[in-house]
Amino acid sequence: MNSFSRYFFLSKVELKAFISIFFITLVAMSSLLLANGLYSDDFTRVISGEPLWNANGRPLSTFISVALQFGKPLTNISPLPQLFAFTLYSLSAIYLGRLFKVNDLLLLTLSGVIFVINPLNLQNLVFIFDSFPMAVSVFTSTLAAYLISFFIGNNIKIKEKIFIFFSSFFSLICSLCLHQSSISIYLVIFTFYALVRLLDGQLARSFCIISASIIVLLFASIAYIPIKNFYIDGEYTLYHSKTIPLSDFPQKIFDNLLFFWENVKSLLGQNTLSYFIYSLSFLAIVAVIYNIFLSTGQKLEKLGGKGFDRS
């Protein structure tokens, strides 16, 4: 295995976790696939046969969707786009697990399932035509954060650093050309990863991670500007880039959680089996959060032994 391929090939544990995550999420979302409901954007694409993503600044979404259907006009080929989406979400979860050194098969699988079946991805998956491009965008954004974490490694050669930088840069441009909002995943991942390194007492490493991540994002954003200006038609990005006022943030989180719960019930139902799945999902979330806090507490204890002031 050469020095570049080692970043991508999965170990036996990771391969088992990937297969487990894929099939668990596939079963959990089977009702969505069987419903095969068309949403407003889907109806427009079915009627016109056109991708209609270029005007939103997403030319790569157009390219991969047309390639998936071997040309235009586009037709409803569900559940194929969602199946490909599950595959990419599951693979993204594996790379996230590797980034945060989650080596236990059970924990990697549980955290992966939660990553795949989350409010953002649930919304993405209900759009038949958008589901695959959005999944590719999530994957490329995750891949960029995963790769950039190696950039400051002491045992990384110069040619590997160049490969890592441009791979992350290219991945972020792809993410922006697929679904711009997925870039937030990149921001969350590298911020949380830098925080973990900080808890390990690696202040310099944490600073370098944040700096490298921001530089790559800055270059990718600049490179995306001419692409955006060439394709975008109207005020689409301006309207869809609105932020929540800080004063409304707590209430908005609560409202979104309630809205998410109502959507889950409407999709999966309210029978005995559904509530059993809800209970298992809740326990899995609690288990993952508990492990995160347990791991963080242990790191703080180690730092405390080194004279870290926790007051």
Separation between Cα atoms, residue 127 and residue 132, nearest integer Å: 9
Residues 262-267: contacts with CB under 8 Å, at least 24 apart: 263/122, 264/122, 267/31, 267/32, 267/35, 267/122, 267/126
Contact between 113 and 24 (Cβ < 8 Å):
yes
Share of the chain above pLDDT 70, in %: 84
Domain match, 186 and 272 both: no
Domain match, 202 and 248 both: no
Q: Domain total for the chain? A: 2
Give pLDDT tens digits for 213-223: 999 999 999 99
Give pLDDT tens digits for 109-144: 988 998 898 877 777 888 888 999 999 999 999 999
Can you give the pTM of this predicted structure?
A: 0.76
CA angle 185/140/222 to nearest 5° reads: 80
The parent domain of residue 265 ranges over 243-311
CA angle 142/24/138 to nearest 5° reads: 15
Contact between 10 and 52 (Cβ < 8 Å):
no
Give pLDDT tens digits for 223-248: 998 988 888 766 655 565 455 666 77
Boundary of a domain, candidates 188, 203, 235: 235
Task: Assess whether the previous peptide bond of 73 is cis (omega < 30° from 0).
Answer: yes
Contact between 129 and 42 (Cβ < 8 Å):
yes
pLDDT of residue 152: 72
Domain match, 15 and 31 both: yes
| Residue bearing tokens 């894929």 | 22
The band of 288, judged by pLDDT with boundaries at 50, 70 and 90, is low
Share of the chain above pLDDT 90, in %: 29
Is the per-residue pLDDT at 311 higher than 50?
no
